Amino acid sequence: MIVNNKKLNPYLEVVNFSSRNVDQKKLGTVLGIFEIKDLSDDSAYIVNFLSSVAKKTYFAGHQKNPEESFESTLAKVNLSLAEIANHGNVNWIGKIDAVLCSIFEDQINFSVSGDAKVLLLRNQKLMEISESLSPKDEAVNPLKTFTDIASGKLEKGDKLILTTDDISHVFTLEEIERNALEFENEKFIRFLKTALVNELEIAGTIVLDIKEKAEVSEQKVVSEEELDSIPAVTEKNLFGSAAFEKRPEDSVKAEMEKKLSEKNQEKTYTNQKTGHIYITDSGDDFSSPEENKFEAWLVIAKEKMSDFGFWLQENYLRKLKYKTKKFIENIFKKPTEPDDHAWSEKAPAPKESASKTSLSQDTKEFSRKIFSRLSDLKTERKTVSPSLSPQTPPMREIPAKTSKTKLLINCSRSIKNKFNFKKITDLFGLVIPRFSKIKQNFLEMSPKKKIITLILISLIIIVPFWFFKKEEANPSVVNEVVNPTEDLKINPSSEFYKESEKIYSDSELIGAFIFNNSVFAVGRNKIVSITDNKEYPFPENFQNAQKYSFMNDLNLLFLIDEKNRLVSFSPISLKFNNDAINISENAEIEAIGSYLTYLYIIDSANRQIYRYPRAENGFGEKINWLQDDIDFENITGMAIDGNLYLSKKDSVIKLFNRKIQNFELKKDADSSIDKIFTDEDTISLYVLDKTNGELDKYGKEGNKQAFVSNQALTEAVDIRIDEKNSLAYFITSEGMFKITLPR
């Protein structure tokens, strides 16, 4: 870049930018020259603005290839120039020379405007390969500053020259060819620079010499064993002449020690923020942060389960074990074993008069009889009078000289007595009601107790029947749809919980957009500036907005109402404009979105995605953008960043170049996808999960990275992301909220 007059510096800019980001290395390098020949103050620094736009746009889309990124860059530059013209700055129109070029490995894409040129020296012949690429009507339409793109492959030994028309005032094409062949690479550049500095006040030229990529051989890392195997050097006279001679053995060993030290240093890592030093494993299998969190969660879960088991054992299992043991012992207890509590028979209580007997006393007496029955198990005879106590038969003494056969018989009888199956059958008899006993007890009751008993029985039977009939009389209660998130309570003590703040109250909001760090709420019938709390009502012929999309390249908000009419709103002029668009009457619009200067509309009725190009006072004729067959049911939203993401309730479809791409959003099994957001300036994908009250963050390859939770997210209907300020805005029936983005 040659600028001999400092006053001309704002009118020339050279672009030479390669990203240092590993993910963007596949896009290569973007080169360019912008020169404005109008020297008015209004045209100053336009070239600086355009170079910044070119750098930012070319490396903005991480998923694009060099061709797509270059095309987007040209479109963005055209839009930027159109925006400058819309603000009344038009002196530069027809007076701009510009060339843009992208190079990745041996692939080149380029475009020119005005009198700028791209020259190629190949096989000792110089040619202008950008001829006829420059548009002829740029003075009429700034959107056509760059129109055509040329592509090709570079070869070893090529020389590429990007230049403005200024160089033609010094050299002809033949002179440039002759000097390029005469001088070597660096000498030719020095020759050009000397000539341009001496002859011109301002000029811009980029020269590229194409060579093969140099292969760097890997240096062998010496281990400690190899270092120790180096033979020791014999001692020398430190005061002799040989002390100042070069010692090859020492230099080799010192070099090896240096490499070994560097290798050991690679095993350590110092966190620049915290100052902590970490020792890294020498293996290649490193666990991710998600895996480390999962292992920590498993340890905590095991500890909690252990604590719960100990608490359960201390409070319940020990008591249950004791009662079970006593119950089994009573079942298998010998009938001959005396037990004062279990085998003593209580005499029946004397019959009292009706006037002196209360209901509570009768209940106690009835309970006493039941528990007495539990211990009144007879083993000797089938029927025994209740007034008699069981007699314990005397134990038979076994003679000392009894035969072995008799001894075995007695042992078998003893074992049989141990397992008293009669007790078990009598226990089941207690569970099954004896209607004769119930009848007898009922007849023995006083008239007052009989009436109370009958009333209680009637209530037990009638009340459930009454409730059952009531449910049948109100079938709408049975068929009522229950909101699964209605009873969901988000744990506020969770490490993923974030507080949300309500910033605007309105029950008629459908979304939000951000412009120049100002937040706007989109309502059914108005736009609200949250910054200054000003409202901008819709025009009279446009009411009840249904869908919206903010077009970053034109700084315009587009809205569609229930009659498929379109209006635009400018956050700069704060005015509405009726825009022309052709949407069929039978179309069912599920979502709209924008990218560059195109408007995308999803029509589920016709199973198609339409793309409308921007035109004067509206949009031109649509094209059927979708070429693959997809399912249009349960669509929840759309997001575009060069790729088009179509969200459904349980999955996300990724589309590029009109076709379905191989993509899977790795969400949790119980998560829902209620809204999706990303754009060309947003690095990640953001998904609203109302089922769990979460805002999920995904990488654009589909992996879940983080999330935040909040109770209000269970009722959200739309989200808008501001990664620059690490904020998310979401809409509910109560109004607009903001929350910190997941990290």
* Residue 621, CA distances (Å) to 568, 580, 581, 616 in order: 18, 10, 8, 12
Q: Which CA distances in Å does 515 have to 323, 399, 553, 555?
A: 73, 110, 11, 8
Q: Cα separation of 449 and 439, whole Å? A: 14
Q: Tell me if 665 sits within 8 A of 703, measured CB to CB.
A: no
The model's pLDDT over 400-450, given as tens digits with 9 standing for 90+, comes to: 444 444 555 555 555 445 445 455 555 555 555 566 667 677 777 787 777
pTM of the model: 0.44
Q: Is 161 exposed, middle or buried (0-12, 13-18, 19+ CB in 10 A)?
A: buried
Q: Which of 655, 658, 637 is nearest to 647 (CA)?
A: 637
- Per-residue pLDDT reduced to its tens digit, 3-29: 877 788 888 989 888 876 666 777 889
Return the pLDDT at 274.
Answer: 35
* Segments making up each domain of the chain, as ranges: 2-209, 501-740
Q: Which of the residue ranges 258-262, 323-327, 683-687 would you say has the lowest mean pLDDT?
A: 258-262
pLDDT of 287 strictly over 90: no
- Assign a CATH topology to domain 501-740: Methylamine Dehydrogenase; Chain H (2.130.10)
In this prediction, residue 559 carries a pLDDT of 96
Judged by phi (left if over 0) then psi (alpha if -120 to 50, else beta), residue 105 lies in left
CA dist 316 and 484 (Å) reads: 34
User: Which fold does the domain 2-209 belong to in CATH?
Assistant: Phosphatase 2c; domain 1 (3.60.40)
On the question of pLDDT at 669 being above 80, the answer is: yes
pLDDT at 78: 86
Interatomic CA distance for residues 484 and 64, integer angstroms: 39
Backbone angles phi, psi at 602, to 5 degrees: -95, 120
Give the dihedral sign, CA 453/459/462/465: negative
| Structural contact between residues 196 and 2, judged by C-beta atoms closer than 8 angstroms | yes
